[in-house]
Amino acid sequence: MNNTIQSFKIFISFFLLFLCTSCETKNVKDIPFNQFKDVYQVYGKKLNVDTYKFNTYGKMLLFEKEEYIIRENFKSESLIDKIYYTKDSLVSLVKFGQGPNENLSSRIIQKHSDTCFSIFDRKRKTIFFKDISGNTLFESKFSELFFSAIQTNDGYLATGIFDKQNKHRYILYDQKGNKIQSFGYYPQEEEEIDITSKNLAYQGSLVYNKTLNRFLSTTNNGCVLELYQLGEKPYLIQGYYDILPVYAPHKTKKIDGVRYGDDNQCGYIDLYATEQYVYGLYSGKKLENRTTQGLVDAIQTNHILIYDWNGNCVCRLVTDKPLFNICVSQDNQELIALGWEDDYYLYSFDLSEVNLSNN
């Protein structure tokens, strides 16, 4: 039945796997899928957006009231686009520039309201808060370089910090960008591995729940997920360390990187959160062909893993189209995704028949 959801439940016996450092006794193809007892098949409907507007994949934010998305576009002169998915209209919000105060490597961070979102320019070490027309409302500058960051109730949280004196995975900053404290450790604690190498291996995505003051992080490599409670002393609520990234000596620099191919696999490709749930687009594939097309084949996936904000495995969605990026309405009734079917397309998935409340 096209454009509707046909749900089925698969009940299997399974054991949650915590703090694992070896995969010798596991069937990697089943991880982390075997942690979700409820599985739903969902079908996408193409939205009325011309394919020329999507020349690559990139993180998206959903503004469902006005029926548009804001997305990254790192292969264009327009770095951040606003795309209306019901009337086929595109507006450039952030353009690429070569000057000292122009945008060079802007990445979307998070949606703050129906009228505000934030981006991070890594080269300028600055987070910019933008209105929905692309105007800068205010900015926060940092002294350290890091991979990812999000705004919290008390300031900012960053991960992947390039500071050889810092051995922790996360750092908290105040509203002015001043460091408050660091916390959290990398699952692999081999002292001989340089901290820069760990940052490269464990880079991924962050999402935040403002009401609960909690954040959840995932890795792009392997299968690692952590859920933390923030406060005066942050603590780990839940951690899944099923498959760890595999390090390999870097051929041109005196640091370790990540070994792709037979020894390593792609993990969480994208992450999106609502007040109730976290949606992780998970690959689990290996990069068998070290080309641009090989990377595209490895990261597109049909599997969306849903967690609640206590770290529980809620259910798994299996889509009829391979996807690159996802975003979800705040009522958890619609999922908008960028997928592939002979070209890039934007799809809508009706989630009204997915039972989330009884898990």
CATH code, domain with 188: 2.120.10.30
Distance CA 268, CA 135 (A): 31
pLDDT in the model for residue 262: 58
pLDDT level of residue 69 (50, 70, 90 thresholds): very high
Domain-located, residue 356: no
* 107-124 CB burial, b ≥16 within 10 A, e <16: bbbbbeeeeebbbbbeeb
Q: Which of 235, 237, 229, 234 is nearest to 213 (CA)?
A: 229
Where is pLDDT greater, at 31 or 11?
A: 31
pLDDT in the model for residue 144: 86
Determine which of 41-55, 97-111, 125-139, 238-252 has the lowest per-residue pLDDT on average: 97-111
- Domain tally, the chain: 1
Where is pLDDT greater, at 244 or 16?
A: 244
Domain-located, residue 65: yes
pLDDT level of residue 251 (50, 70, 90 thresholds): low
Domain-located, residue 122: yes
Q: Is the confidence at residue 342, as pLDDT, over 70?
A: yes
Domain-located, residue 251: yes
Domain-located, residue 359: no
Domain-located, residue 358: no
Q: Is the dihedral of CA 298, 301, 303, 309 positive or negative?
A: positive
Burial of 21 (0-12, 13-18, 19+ CB in 10 A): exposed
Q: For residue 165, is it left (φ>0), alpha (ψ between -120 and 50) or beta?
A: alpha
Domain-located, residue 215: yes
Range of the domain at 35: 6-350
Q: Is the confidence at residue 174, as pLDDT, over 50?
A: yes
Percent residues over pLDDT 70 in the chain: 80
> Is the backbone peptide bond immediately before 32 cis, with ω within 30 degrees of 0?
yes
Domain-located, residue 341: yes
pLDDT in the model for residue 162: 77
